[in-house]
Amino acid sequence: MRYLPLTDTDREDMLARIGVADIDALFSDVPADKLLKTPVDLPRGRGEAEVERILAKMAGRNRSASSMPFFVGAGAYKHHVPATVDHLIQRSEFLTSYTPYQPEIAQGTLQYLFEFQTQVAALTGMEVANASMYDGSTGTGEAVLMAHRVTRRRKAVLSGGLHPHYAAVVQTLSEMASDEVVTLPADIRASEDILAAIDDETSCVVVQSPDVFGNLRDLRPIAEKAHAHGALLIAVFTEVMSLGAVTSPGEMGADIVVGEGQSIGNALNFGGPYVGLFAAKAKYVRQMPGRLCGETVDADGRRGFVLTLSTREQHIRRDKATSNICTNSGLCCLAFTIHMTLLGQAGLALVAETNHANAVKLAEGLAGVKGVELLNETFFNEFTLKLSRPAAAVVEAMAEKGVLAGVPVSRLLPGQGLDDLLIVANTEVNTDEDRAAFVAALAEVL
Amino acid sequence: MAETRYTKDHEYIRIEGDTGIVGITDYAQGQLGDVVFVELPSIGKSVTKGGEAAVVESVKAASEVYAPVSGEVVEVNSELEGAPGTVNEDPAGKGWFVKLKLKDPAELEGLMSEGEYQNYVKTL
Amino acid sequence: MLNRQGRPTQAGEGAQEAHATFTGNRALQQIEPLIFEIGRYETTGVDIDKPGPFKSRLGKLARKDGIGLPGLSEPEAMRHYVRLSQKNYGIDTGLFPLGSCTMKHNARLNEKMARLPGFSDVHPLQPVSTVPGALELMQELARYLMVLTGMPAVSLSPKAGAHGELCGMMAIKAAIAAKGEGETRRTVLVPESAHGTNPATAALIGFVVKPVPAREDGTVAVEDVKALLGPDVAAIMLTNPNTCGIFEPQIVEIAAAMHEAGAYFYCDGANYNAIVGKAKPGDLGVDAMHINLHKTFSTPHGGGGPGSGPVVLSERLAPFAPVPFIHLEDGAPRLVENVADAPEGNAPFGRITAFHGQMGMYVRALTYMLSHGADGMKQASEDAVLNANYIRAGLQDLMSLPFPDHPSMHEALFDDEWLKGTGVTTLDFAKAMIDEGYHPMTVYFPLVVHGAMLVEPTESESKASLDLFIATLRDLAMATKGNDKSRFTGAPHHAPLRRLDETRAARQPVLKWVKPEPIAEAAE
């Protein structure tokens, strides 16, 4: 086996040195009747070429985003990632290192985490950010738990514009922890009265902007009402690229900001791995989940970085930890940091503007199509269409015509009478030809 | 002269009239290492003997500080928030944690005297 | 004529002492500032045309101010991150014996396969009809995991090991609630030697944690578990092989005792690498076990992630697995994404993450499994165990073993008894290893052993590599008895940085870069 350096001679010599007759003598604590005598019922090992063949065949059965005009979003987005990013994250010293338990030989990881935290704090307009969560959805669950710790209350109010998967994650976690959740009905036009749902028992209000239907939401009045009742505002985003074009949640009064960072640096990957961004006001830092990297000096007074405030974490606090999280999203947050460094604020603003311009162009192109209604007043790079036919069937029919059109709302919210709604995303990778193909295919199908 | 009593968990309580000043002993701060954060209770909180009164954190550990006796928190040493190292430098003096209004002075009887505590530490 | 031109080819006779450099750099070791100190606000390393005029639909929420993040051109960014990478120790650098973390070789074939556009460039919500290969891959991974563990079901979606624990414990909580015992069964037993994630997970979803004492020999005894059992006990969370590197000899009896008491057995599978192809958790009575794909199945550790933590489930827990999962209908796979769409007989407890889990990690793990095959995976476990015991045999006369009565599995645990009186601590010893070119082992874990040193070499090391490692540690161990302790107490001397002041980092946390104040204002 090409990954195993020991030879049979080595193995014999080593067993002799240990002083046992055979390898199974080292497995003597395994009950004899449970020790497998033969390999399990799976194929034998294979060479590289054969493994490649098998997997390439599976991969070949999928239609990739780059292979056709592509408008699918709703929480994960197709953006262009510079080649530099993927090269750098595959450097051995990044790829094969681990949690920086020994900071003297992990400054590479620690310094990029510090850069990452700084970037996330700046983007979200917050004072502190952690070294990442698994993804936006699990980060949202953690944000709600954090708000409960801060406020010592146990009721979360979820906006109807929150991504349904994110809402489900919060609901599942809350049900298991016996916490209360009030979920407002699906709010397609951003018209819900979330202020009315906030009272003195509310721990936090969770609002996504742009919301899952693409609407931008003004968080300021929500922050004001929440704070008046001693509650926190948790601002969520699934499209981090939007922060290059819209007012940051921090500026609008959010107490905790959490979201998905996939769009910067990371591929679609059929849903993961992604990178959760998590930021908060500095006064809540000790209630934050996840790793934090901080600046310090070494014995010679040189600047260096270490993991810090670890007493919040599971390996020290055990059952009193702020979270059970251990790993973060390491390489994905490195990819984010490198891409963000290449962009800079100038590049990010430009890419964001292009996303928005492209979406506006598509919206305008749809104006003349019969049976299509744009529901959004505002949007960034994604909006919701009301169609004259069920959206799921439209998407299937358009896929046959070579266009991946978007996400039917019924896939996220089945059985709610929202079958005619389609969420359409448009990023900088979409061309005028792509948009023309979308409009033509939709017109034909409807 | 103020009398000081000790617990097996290395808290001390210095009695001044009907209040007691609670902190951790020099031995305890030595074991903990550099204190980096102290979490104090809110004023007015009632604590019971053996219950959690504060949390003290070093770089690598978080430890609960238990109330030596029951009482009400009447004052906390908020200086520690900005200067947690005071717990290491002067645990018996400026590094105190909370002032308790004693509920039942009889509870002090079960605690160790200075001499008894020093002998106890020697056995550890 | 002799040509006396050209460069000298012998070492010079200059001073022996290194002098300080003008830059502070030391040849290949370069000091690298933060991007915020070298970048410029107007710079971008990405070329994109400015869009033509259009009518904004951002309404009143258009961003008005700059974000405050500088950019770098591509060559600058490349150099910045390459220099940072050179300050890191990885598996590809040298032996990385970090116990409980299974730092095995990360094959690049795994990376190549994960980057096939059919896997990396597909969206989780594009029509299922356009991704049959993705579902096939998930099913194949699930099949491999089920066959290896002897368990009938697996939930793939957990994002990491701790998330897998959460998933498994939620399934247990749901199963208990379904039996109407949700109010009474609230205690979870966790041995003192457990990973911190175990008690943290149990507490997170409202269980009360009760510790199980460890025996003198580093194992958990069935009598100790039985003594704690009652109608209040929901489950035990037990790591096997345990965190002391020992296979729990009474695991079958413990599982039986749990089941008899109406409770469940959660197995922490962090150390599964020792027994893949050697024993099936399903045969041992396990109800749920997470598998760290980044440990056992070689998906890269990546400086701390991303992980992936599929959970195998017993027949009793399978119906409660969260969405999404793949359900076979007449042989055809159906992706069940919503609780309401669950087929008859299933009662999913909910959803633990958006979308379908860590697809990128599934591809890498399956690539590993296909490469090894049944025979190779068994061999890998045997080699991992052999290597750990070989190290143990090579060091046990100099370093102390807290639990000499059991063979080690894939990791060997030492304590600091042998360092008593030397003035050298476990931490000093670890830091001295850095100077010798090794990543230290896991130190001060498990907590049940004083000054613990947990050495896990994995199957990826050659005999020559192990021999040099043993010789190095023997040399260090002898040196602890000598007079000059600076090799330890001042270590590391040769790393990019010396020991860092963690107290300062924690007392005055600086968690992001802040633009320095202009001098005039700061001087006020």
**Strand locations in A175-302 (E):** 180-183, 202-208, 232-237, 256-260, 276-280, 293-297
Least Cα separation, residue B113 to chain C (angstroms): 31
What is residue A316's predicted lDDT score, i.e. its pLDDT?
A: 72
Q: Residues of CATH 3.90.1150.10 domain(s) within chain A? A: 67-80+352-445
Distances (CA, A) of C478 to B23, B60, C402, C422, C489: 43, 29, 19, 11, 15
Sign of CA dihedral C406, C407, C412, C414: positive
Q: Which of residues 308-347 of C touch A (CB under 8 A)?
A: 308, 322, 337-341
State whether C361 and C440 are in the same domain: no
Using a pLDDT cut of 70, give the percent of chain A over it: 100
Give burial (CB, 10 Å; 0-12/13-18/19+) of A121.
Answer: buried
Using a CB–CB cut-off of 8 Å, the residues of A that contact B are: 286, 310-311, 316-317, 320
Using a pLDDT cut of 90, give the percent of chain A over it: 95
Q: Which of residues 84-103 of C touch A (CB under 8 A)?
A: 84-93, 96, 98, 101, 103
Q: Select from C342, C367, C392 the last residue of a domain.
A: C367
State whether C398 and C384 are in the same domain: yes
Least Cα separation, residue B36 to chain A (angstroms): 9
CATH tag for A83-339 (out of 3.90.1300.10, 3.40.640.10, 3.30.1280.10, 3.40.50.2000)? 3.40.640.10
Give the tens place of pLDDT for each residue, A142-165.
999 999 999 999 999 999 999 999
What is residue C15's predicted lDDT score, i.e. its pLDDT?
A: 56
Is C452 within the bounds of a domain? Answer: yes
CA C176 to chain centre: 30
What is residue B63's predicted lDDT score, i.e. its pLDDT?
A: 86
Is B112 within the bounds of a domain? Answer: no
State whether C191 and C338 are in the same domain: yes
State whether C358 and C384 are in the same domain: no
Is B113 within the bounds of a domain? Answer: no
Which residue would you say has higher pLDDT here, A317 or A333?
A333
Nearest to A345 among C67, C304, C349 (CB): C67
Is C14 within the bounds of a domain? Answer: no
DSSP letters spanning A150-178? HHS--EEEE-TTS-HHHHHHHHHHHHHTT
Give C444's contacts in chain B (Cβ within 8 Å).
60
Is C31 within the bounds of a domain? Answer: no
Q: Which of residues 127-166 of C touch B (CB under 8 A)?
A: none
Total residue length of chain B: 124
Domain count of chain C? Answer: 2
Query: Hey, what are C246's tokens?
Result: 């020992």
Least Cα separation, residue A318 to chain B (angstroms): 10
Q: Do C68 and A363 touch (CB under 8 A)?
A: no
Q: Confidence band (pLDDT; 50, 70, 90) for A291? A: very high
**CATH number assigned to the domain comprising residue C379:** 3.90.1150.10
Q: Confidence band (pLDDT; 50, 70, 90) for A2? A: very high
State whether C424 and C483 are in the same domain: yes
Q: Do C502 and B59 touch (CB under 8 A)?
A: yes
CATH topology of domain A67-80+352-445: Aspartate Aminotransferase, domain 1 (3.90.1150)
State whether C154 and C259 are in the same domain: yes
Is B115 within the bounds of a domain? Answer: no
Q: Do A245 and C279 touch (CB under 8 A)?
A: no
Give C507's contacts in chain B (Cβ within 8 Å).
34, 36-37, 84-85
Q: Do B62 and A286 touch (CB under 8 A)?
A: no
Least Cα separation, residue C441 to chain B (angstroms): 18
Q: Do B62 and A317 touch (CB under 8 A)?
A: yes
Q: Confidence band (pLDDT; 50, 70, 90) for A310? A: confident
What is residue C523's predicted lDDT score, i.e. its pLDDT?
A: 43
User: What is the distance between the alpha carbons of residues A131 and C143, in angstroms, rounded to a whole number?
Assistant: 34
Q: Which of B29, B35, B59 to mutate to test the interface with C (most CBs of C within 10 A)?
A: B59
**CATH number assigned to the domain comprising residue B17:** 2.40.50.100
Is B21 within the bounds of a domain? Answer: yes
Q: Residues of CATH 3.40.640.10 domain(s) within chain A? A: 83-339
pLDDT (tens place) for every residue of chain C, 524 residues total: 666 677 767 776 665 667 889 998 988 889 999 999 999 999 999 999 999 999 999 999 999 988 999 999 999 999 999 999 999 999 999 999 999 999 999 999 999 999 999 999 999 999 999 999 999 999 999 999 999 999 999 999 999 999 999 999 999 999 999 999 999 999 999 998 888 899 999 999 999 999 998 899 999 999 999 999 999 999 999 999 999 999 999 999 999 999 999 999 999 999 999 999 999 999 999 999 999 999 999 999 999 989 999 999 999 999 999 999 999 888 888 999 999 999 999 999 999 999 999 999 999 999 999 999 999 999 999 999 999 999 999 999 999 999 999 999 999 999 999 999 999 999 999 999 999 999 999 999 998 899 999 999 999 999 999 999 999 999 999 999 999 899 999 999 999 999 999 999 999 999 999 988 876 654 44
Give C352's contacts in chain A (Cβ within 8 Å).
138, 169, 172-173
Q: Mean pLDDT in chain A?
A: 96
Q: Which of B59, B63, B64, B81 to mutate to test the interface with A (most CBs of A within 10 A)?
A: B59
Give A286's contacts in chain B (Cβ within 8 Å).
37, 39
Is B51 within the bounds of a domain? Answer: yes
What is residue B2's predicted lDDT score, i.e. its pLDDT?
A: 67
The arithmetic mean of pLDDT across residues A38-47, rounded, is: 97
Q: Chain B contact for C502, CB < 8 A? A: yes
The whole domain housing B103 covers 3-107
Query: Hey, what are A402's tokens?
Result: 């070579």
Is residue C254 a contact partner of residue C248, using CB atoms and an 8 Å limit? yes
The arithmetic mean of pLDDT across residues A314-343, rounded, is: 87
Is C244 within the bounds of a domain? Answer: yes
Is B86 within the bounds of a domain? Answer: yes
Q: Select from C340, C367, C394 the last residue of a domain.
A: C367
Task: Flag whether pLDDT at B105 surpasses 90.
Answer: no
State whether C406 and C277 are in the same domain: no
Give the tens place of pLDDT for each residue, B12-66.
999 998 899 999 999 999 988 999 999 999 999 999 999 999 999 888 788 889 9
SS3 A433: helix
Least Cα separation, residue B109 to chain C (angstroms): 31
Is B123 within the bounds of a domain? Answer: no
Residue A117 forms beta bridges with which residues?
A: none
Domain count of chain B? Answer: 1
Give C209's contacts in chain A (Cβ within 8 Å).
318-319
Helices (H), A182-326: 220-228, 314-317
- Look at the block and give the residue holding tokens 């605690």: B111
| Buried-state track C319-335, b at ≥16 Cβ within 10 A, e below 16 | bbbbbbbeeeeeeeeeb
The whole domain housing C197 covers 111-367
User: What is the distance between the alpha carbons of residues B118 and B115, in angstroms, rounded to a whole number?
Assistant: 5
For chain A, report the end-to-end CA distance as a whole number of angstroms: 56
Q: Do A42 and C439 touch (CB under 8 A)?
A: no
Rounded to two decimals, what is the model's pTM? 0.96
Is residue A332 a contact partner of residue A269, using CB atoms and an 8 Å limit? no
User: What is the distance between the alpha carbons of residues C161 and C308, in angstroms, rounded to a whole number?
Assistant: 6
Query: Hey, what are A49's tokens?
Result: 């070429």
Helices (H), C404-489: 426-435, 463-479, 486-489
Residue A358 forms beta bridges with which residues?
A: none
**CATH number assigned to the domain comprising residue C153:** 3.40.640.10
